[in-house]
Structure 1
Amino acid sequence: MSGTTRAGSYRAVLLLPFALRTFVPALLGRLSYGLLPLSLLFTVQASTGSFTTAGAALAVFGAASLSMPFKARLVDRFSQRRVLPPLAGGAASGLAVLATIGTAASVVLLLAGLTGLLAPPLGPSMRSNWRLLTEGSALKERAYALDAVSEECLFLGGPLIAGTLIGLVSAPAALLTSAAVMLVGTLAMVTSPVTTRTASAPTGVRRRDPWGPLVIPALRRVLFVVTGVASGVSAAYVCVAGVAQQAGHPGSAGYVEAAIALGSVAGGLVWARRTHTRSWTVQLAGLIAVLALGLVTASLVSGLVLLGVVLAVAGAAVSPMFVVAYLAADEVTPPHQRTEASTWINTANNLGAAAGSALAGIVIDQAAPSWGFLSGGVLLAVLAATLAGSGVRQSRDRG
């Protein structure tokens, strides 16, 4: 039996009541996170004279963003309209202060940490809105794919916009722009009627369990998979930089990374043209196998152009992988915890990416980038095989 059927169009998704009114402002707010890394890095470097402090400020902001699931829990409980504006206002104010005052490194790091703690969970909130907007239809997977592809485009375009602003105006101007789009996008998004909704916990369920949806074994399994995939993909990015450095063209790494992102966008668009009926374990196994094959192949090729082609093809599995992961998280968690569960997907991705980068750096220093690609490919192949075996066992149990 086929594992796919025809899905609705993107036009059908965007024509849903309140869809454009909610999605367009959400994209504007999320653009802030694409602008922020370069803007913050060069603003802090200019004000302190230290790239060490600038890098540390980015790291502190990133570490503070691990609070995102707990902010999402507040959104689930009290609604986006009540929670997101104060967070966006606080975070935008923090970015504005960082952009307008030069101060000691310790104060900069404190401000970066506080700003990260207040950063609003706009991506998970929009996915929560898509769940509400597509309720009663078969369009949720298509909406998630549209969301994932759009987010990929934001993180492609954000650095380009930031770099242009830095070159033509200044780094603080770019950081102020990041603050402005975060605040304006958030405030505009919460004018949508769907942002007033909350999800009630079932009778008898403890709403304030400190571990939230992490107590659900199936969700922990999804998060384990996402962490493993992120480790392999992140290792590939570091290895690309290593190959470019060895070739004497370090700047070319950016073009190869852009090719991966473009492959991801194309893959997400193609994936969402069908509604997939196989279990999420089987879907993830197939997508991870594509990534694994791509990384193993990358370990065998020479030349940056061919490497870019290979990784662009493999990258076609990245956006679909996140779509399936978000759908799986929805499937295994109750409605009142789904925004938080979605945020844990992002957190697992960030943690896996950090681990993969660190391990790839060690492999490159001790051996060569090709061994880093191979190690990431083997990791993903094992993960894909494990998931496929699990999917087969589940099918037998149902039979």
Structure 2
Amino acid sequence: MPAPESAGSYRAVLRLPSALRAFVPALGGRLAYGLLPLATLFTVQQTTGSYARAGLALAAFGLASITLPLKSRLTDTHGQRRVLPWLALFCAGFLALAALTPWPVPFVALAGLAAPPLGPAMRSTWRSLTDGTELKQRAYALDAVAEETLYLTGPLLAGVGLALAPARWTLLATAALLLLGTLGMVAAAPPTIATTARLFTAGPLRSPGLLRVLAARLFTAGPLRSPGLLRVLAVLLVAGAAISAAYTGMAAEAQAAGHPGAAGLLEAAVATGSVVGGLLWSRRHHTRPRTHHFAGLLALLAAGLLAASAAPDLISLGVVMGVGGLAVAPLYVVAYLAADDLSPPGYGTEAGTWINVAANAGSALGAAVAGVVTDRSGPGLAFLIAGVVVIVAAGWAVVWSWGRPGGEAGLLAE
């Protein structure tokens, strides 16, 4: 058994070989994604004079996220060092062209297609570094908390840059940060070459079976063959929809109160709760099945949403949503751990990417539904509906059979 420090200390995680040297540049690269929305929005607007085109550019970049599982599968197949630097180079190059040319929108879209999956790749590195230890949950919690912090501070830093210079300089700095962070991460990380990648390096590239192996690898269901993983994705779909609905509702409440700028503070309350929740979650030694973890965390999120539906003012709304936010980072930690257990060998990075895709899809759905409900009946009903849906999902997580005894049901237990 590891010593108490190695079982429960962030210091023990960062002391793992290559951990700090990979994690620090990875944070820099991932910070670029926090800077990107505002930098892109104002670069395109200042270049074209149109907020409509700026919104189109952001939408194009977001829609390109549908390619993330494919890029993650390529990373699993060939290893980070063969895939991520090229993706980062093309992505940064297209962002630079968006900043320097009078036709930024198509280059932003191309940048989205090439954007490297840095979050899933770093979690793959954590998975490799913590193999044979009890530190994986702590490492994932550290990663989730750091990611929440980056997305909280990224827009603030972008705002500083936009106040000091034209937006294109912030976008160029974002491109440089993405490229340098990616190169630093893959240079320090241990080789993570999937088993199938060896099929490509064992013989000459002219091997007649090469294309067949590549096609079989890229056009198979991969981790989505696991019914248990599909159920985990369903949980994240609901959670993403509920959180997005909450953001829509908070913005509407702030606008109705005559303080639209308070929407950012309300979102910051949720992010702060998420960071605190991730830190607290990682300090516990969890022994219950992960289905129970999902149920409990969803119930906490639902409690915040239901309380928000009756919040009398913005301060109380921020408090109850901050409490609900305590569940956000732990939900992702549990989902990533479950994805590791439920994905076939060699698909770890892709499985983690599907977690993000499910949450993003839920976010889009939640924003759309909450917008309609808010327009017709007010934000209180949007909070109420989101809370009820999450409560139903929590009950489903408890009663649903997650697989045959000893099979995937066992994998969902710690």
Same fold? TM cut 0.5: yes
Residues 393, 111 of structure 1: CA spacing in aligned structure 2 closer, same or farther, 3 A cutoff? closer
| Match among 125, 144, 150 for residue 148 of structure 1 | 144
The within-5 A match list for 1:54-93 is 54-93=54-93
Structure 2: distance between partners of 1:208 and 1:178: 30
Counterparts of 1:189 and 1:78, CA distance in 2: 16
- What does residue range 87-166 of structure 1 map to in structure 2 within 5 Å? 87-103=87-103, 108-166=104-162
Distance 1:394 1:314, change over 3 A: farther
How many residues get paired?
A: 387
2:340 is the alignment partner of 1:330: yes
Give 3-state SS (helix, strand or coil) of 2:195's partner: coil
- Tell me the residue number matched to 2:187: 191
Quote how far apart the aligned CAs of 1:391 are.
Answer: 6.7
Give the TM-score of the pair, scaled to structure 2: 0.90
Cα deviations across residues 51-71 of structure 1 (Å, max 9, x unaligned)?
A: 011011000000001101100
Q: Shift of the alpha carbon at 1:197?
A: 2.1
Instruction: Give the counterpart of 1:221 among 218, 226, 231.
Output: 231
Please give the alpha-carbon distance, in whole angstroms, between the structure 2 residues aligned to 1:75 and 1:394.
31
C-alpha separation in 2, matches of 1:95 and 1:36: 10
1:207 Cα deviation after fit: 3.5
The answer to whether the Cα contact below 8 Å between 1:72 and 1:339 also exists between their aligned partners in 2 is yes
Q: Which residue of 1 aligns with 2:328?
A: 318
CA contact 1:96–1:175 (8 Å) conserved in 2: yes
Task: State whether structure 2 residue 386 is matched by structure 1 residue 376.
Answer: yes
CA shift, 1:353, in A, is 0.1
Aligned equivalents of 2:323, 2:59: Cα separation in 1: 31
Whether the aligned pair in 2 keeps the contact of 1:47 and 1:102 (CA below 8 Å) is yes
Partner SS state of residue 199, structure 1: coil
Q: Which structure 1 residue ranges, 5 or more long, are not aligned?
A: 1-5
SS in 2 for 1:154: helix
Name the CA distance, whole Å, in 1 between partners of 2:93 and 2:45: 19
Q: CA deviation at 1:385?
A: 0.7
Cα RMSD (Å): 1.9
What is the SS of the residue equivalent to 1:274? coil
* Deviation sequence 1:244-296 (CA, Å, 0-9, x none): 01001000010010011000000000000012121111101100000001100
* Cα gap change, 1:137 to 1:308, in 2 (>3 Å): same
5+ long unaligned stretches in structure 2: 1-5, 200-212
Identity percentage of aligned residues:
53
Tell me the distance in 1 between the aligned counterparts of 2:332 and 2:92.
28
CA distance in 2, matches of 1:148, 1:168: 31
1:353 alignment counterpart: 363
- Indicate conservation of the 8 Å contact 1:7/1:273, yes or no: no
TM-superposed deviation, 1:318: 0.2
Q: Check conservation: 1:282, 1:391, Cα contact below 8 A.
A: no
Alignment of 1:285-324 (within 5 A): 285-324=295-334
Give the secondary-structure state (helix, strand or coil) at the position aligned to 2:346.
helix
Whether contact under 8 Å (1:7, 1:272) holds in the other structure is: no
Find the partner of 1:182 among 159, 175, 178.
178
Q: Distance in 2 between matches of 1:275 and 1:335?
A: 26
Does residue 266 of structure 2 align to residue 270 of structure 1?
Answer: no
Q: Does residue 231 of structure 1 match 2:244?
A: no
Deviations 1:308-350 (A, max 9, x none): 0110011010000000000010011123011000001011111
Structure 2 CA distance for partners of 1:279 and 1:395, relative to 1, 3 Å: farther
Aligned to 1:3: none
Deviation digits for residues 212-269 of structure 1, max 9, x if unmatched?
A: 2112111111111100110011000000000001001000010010011000000000
Matches within 5 A, 1:240-279: 240-279=250-289
**1:357 deviation in Å?**
0.2
